[in-house]
């Protein structure tokens, strides 16, 4: 069984609609209920900032601080984490009108917010993700890379380094500077990083697909068949070095075409996540809204279990309005799967009764106009 990570204390200052708020938690699941607009999702977003990146809303940091606040925001959490008990503090400080993200671990300044992955992993599902299957390929790539990042913390750095090298190459091509030494050096970097990204995605998809099949519960959550398209689709069985050589050659041969297009036309930034409803043998984008939601919930639950298996620690789940469109039986099945993961989950809803199946496995927090009441 994976070990449990859980938050025991949470404090917010000048975050969204919270001037100041604090919660003492005991390791059980946390159910946040209250009217729409009261701050439930804001609190969950604050928890999501305990991972690298821009949180579950992908917000611009300047927009996160409470309106009228003089500086940035701050989030403090005490938790039982992957490295034992730890106190984490993150937030922003404003310098020359720019908001900079900072992290402190047990009171000491951290070199990077990437150190958060040493202490916990977070998996989230929000209503904004309901359109994933009908949205853009860039949204699905971002979702896919978030899944990979939970089990491979280096994936984010590879992706940012690849983007940096690709922008440099695009700039040289757009300026007509076809210097073979510069371009070859950048293409060498792009080949190594791009293939590493593609292989990490493929491995995660292979493991996730196997787990979805093993845990299939089609009565409640339809089985999702997953695939990748758009980059090196036919190279799954080739050694990485051969794939790098192939991609490097494609980049070299495509310099003229990419210069004319104003962008790089081959690479992991062109990949797409394909999802099918197995029982109906139908693409997810053609399924009903309810079926799409059930497919997505099943993927998220399987990924949370995969994260627990790969790291040895159950992730903290953030599930916004998770029960709103599920009937009583499916809610009970969902809560059973969540509890079986062995970690802590934060869930939101407008009606406390929707979470009755959790019984005493959850702490209930009432949220009203930025005020929290246990």
Banded pLDDT at 236 (limits 50, 70, 90) = low
Banded pLDDT at 237 (limits 50, 70, 90) = confident
Q: What's the whole-number average pLDDT of the chain?
A: 93
Q: Per the CATH hierarchy, to which homologous superfamily does domain 137-286 belong?
A: RecF/RecN/SMC, N-terminal domain (1.20.1050.90)
For the chain, give the longest Cα–Cα distance.
67
The model's pLDDT over 318-364, given as tens digits with 9 standing for 90+, comes to 999 998 878 888 888 899 999 999 999 999 999 999 999 999 999 99
Is the distance from CB of 41 to CB of 126 less than 8 angstroms? yes
pLDDT at 205: 94
Given a cut of 90, whether residue 253 has pLDDT beyond it is yes
The model's pLDDT over 272-290, given as tens digits with 9 standing for 90+, comes to 999 999 999 999 999 999 8
Q: Which of 275, 309, 274 is nearest to 294 (CA)?
A: 275
Buried b (16+ CB within 10 A) or exposed e, 79-97: bbbbeeebbbbbbbeeeee
The Cα–Cα gap between 120 and 313 comes to 8
Banded pLDDT at 233 (limits 50, 70, 90) = confident
| CATH 3.30.565.10, domain 1-133+290-374, yes or no | no
Given a cut of 90, whether residue 83 has pLDDT beyond it is yes
The model's pLDDT over 89-137, given as tens digits with 9 standing for 90+, comes to 999 877 767 778 999 999 999 999 999 999 999 999 999 999 999 999 9
pLDDT at 292: 93
pLDDT at 211: 94
Given a cut of 90, whether residue 71 has pLDDT beyond it is no
Q: Domain ranges for the chain, please list them.
A: 1-133+290-374, 137-286
Please list the residues that pair with 371 across neighbouring strands.
Answer: 368
Given a cut of 70, whether residue 228 has pLDDT beyond it is yes
Q: Which of 196, 181, 202 is nearest to 243 (CA)?
A: 196
Task: Name the phi and psi angles at 25, rounded to 5.
Answer: -120, 155
The model's pLDDT over 163-205, given as tens digits with 9 standing for 90+, comes to 999 999 999 999 999 999 999 999 999 999 999 999 999 999 9
The Cα–Cα gap between 359 and 87 comes to 29
pLDDT at 117: 94
pLDDT at 350: 92
pLDDT at 152: 93
| DSSP codes, 28-62 | SEEEEE--TTSSHHHHHHHHHTTSSSSTTTT--HH
pLDDT at 235: 66
For the beta carbon of residue 177, count every other beta carbon within 10 angstroms: 11
């Amino acid at each position: 069984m994976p070990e449990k990570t859980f938050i025991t204390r949470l404090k917010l200052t000048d975050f969204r609609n919270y001037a100041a708020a604090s919660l003492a938690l005991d390791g059980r699941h946390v159910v946040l209920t209250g009217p729409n607009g009261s701050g439930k999702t804001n609190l969950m977003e604050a928890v999501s900032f305990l991972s690298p990146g821009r949180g579950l809303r992908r917000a611009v940091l300047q927009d996160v601080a409470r309106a009228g606040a003089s500086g940035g925001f701050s989030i403090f959490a005490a938790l039982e984490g992957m490295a034992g008990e730890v106190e984490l503090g993150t937030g922003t400080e404003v310098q020359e009108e720019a908001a900079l993200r900072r992290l402190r671990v047990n009171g000491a300044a951290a070199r990077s917010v990437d150190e958060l992955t040493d202490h916990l992993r977070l998996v989230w599902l929000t209503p904004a993700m309901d359109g994933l299957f009908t949205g853009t390929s860039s949204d699905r790539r971002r979702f896919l890379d978030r899944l990979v990042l939970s089990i491979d913390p280096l994936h984010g750095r590879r992706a940012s380094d690849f983007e940096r090298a690709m922008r440099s190459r695009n700039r040289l091509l757009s300026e007509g500077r076809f210097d073979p030494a510069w371009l070859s050096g950048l293409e060498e970097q792009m080949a190594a990083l791009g293939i590493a990204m593609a292989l990490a995605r493929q491995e995660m998809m292979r493991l996730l697909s196997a787990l979805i099949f093993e845990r299939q519960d089609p009565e409640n959550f339809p089985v999702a068949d997953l695939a990748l398209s758009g980059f090196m689709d036919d190279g799954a069985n080739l050694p990485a070095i051969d794939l790098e050589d192939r991609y490097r050659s494609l980049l070299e041969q495509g310099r003229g075409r990419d210069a004319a297009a104003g962008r790089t036309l081959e690479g992991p930034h062109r990949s797409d996540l394909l999802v099918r409803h197995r029982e109906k043998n139908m693409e997810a984008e053609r399924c009903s809204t309810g079926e799409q939601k059930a497919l997505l919930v099943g993927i998220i639950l399987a990924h949370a279990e995969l994260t627990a298996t790969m790291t040895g620690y159950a992730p903290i789940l953030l599930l916004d309005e998770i029960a709103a469109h599920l009937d009583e039986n499916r809610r009970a099945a969902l809560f059973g799967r969540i509890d079986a993961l062995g970690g802590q989950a934060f869930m939101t809803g407008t009606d406390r009764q929707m979470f009755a199946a959790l019984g005493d496995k959850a702490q209930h927090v009432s949220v009203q106009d930025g005020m929290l009441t246990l």
